[in-house]
Structure 1
Amino acid sequence: MFRRLFWFLTGAATGVWATTKVNRALRRLSPDSLAATAADRALETGARLRTFAHDVRAGMAQREGELHDALGLTGADRGDRRPAPREPDNELPAPRRGIAYNAYDRKDEH
């Protein structure tokens, strides 16, 4: 009697556990969840790339200063013809809900 009750409860617990796991996996693999995950990873990658680009620019400026000091060049000698850094172009329209939007596919700029 106890043996049957033990195996019945073990089977019921295993069934509940398996159902919970499957439901979590289905929720995680839904299109909305996959899109949100991809968007989060894209934003994270963009932030990492911006940080990397900033570090590269800082290293380039430092190395350029070291080379100018080593060669004895001053600001007047080299003309200081470096252009001012550009501001990011934030003039793209907001995407419309429910329509796939590609910023490079704008009709008004062609």
Structure 2
Amino acid sequence: MFRRTFWFTAGAAAGVWATTKVNRKLRQLTPESLAAQAANKAVEAGHRLKDFALDVRDNMAEREAELGDALGLNDPVDAEIGALPAQRRFAAVENTFKTEQPKYLEATEVSRAPHHDPHNNRNEDH
């Protein structure tokens, strides 16, 4: 008798447990529940995207400050002079693609340099 009662109780408990588990799963699969889950995921993704954008903005500002310091753009203006720092000068590079003359001519080579006629260029496509 005791053995039958034990197995009856164990079976009833397993049935209740299985029924509860199936009902929970069915409630999770209703359209309303799926819509709520999708909305929650979208909100979480939005928060992660916002945090990423804020991190990018902070790191960008930090990097701009580092570059400004390295290039001397963040140096304070001299109060006595009241002017900005002098501009940096860059070397100009001559475009030698359409000319046959060397880039820099020595004084003795100037007289021997070939004459360049822009209307008679053999390298241009006509």
Q: TM-score under structure 2 normalisation?
A: 0.57
- Partner Cα distance (1:43, 1:6) in 2: 49
Query: In the alignment, which residue of structure 2 is the partner of 1:35?
Result: 35
- Matched-pair identity in %: 66
Q: Does 1:61 align with 2:72?
A: no
- Partner Cα distance (1:65, 1:19) in 2: 63
- Partner Cα distance (1:42, 1:36) in 2: 10
Task: Tell me the amino acid that sits aligned with residue 53 of structure 1.
Answer: A
Query: In the alignment, which residue of structure 1 is the partner of 2:24?
Result: 24
Q: TM-score under structure 1 normalisation?
A: 0.65
Query: In the alignment, which residue of structure 1 is the partner of 2:9?
Result: 9
Aligned structure 1 segments of 4 or more residues deviating by more than 6 angstroms: none
Equivalent residues, number: 77
If asked which structure has higher relative contact order (CA below 8 Å, sep 6+), I would say 2
- Partner Cα distance (1:15, 1:74) in 2: 74
Q: What runs of 5+ residues in structure 2 fail to find an aligned partner? A: 76-83, 86-126
- Partner Cα distance (2:54, 2:6) in 1: 63
Larger radius of gyration: 2
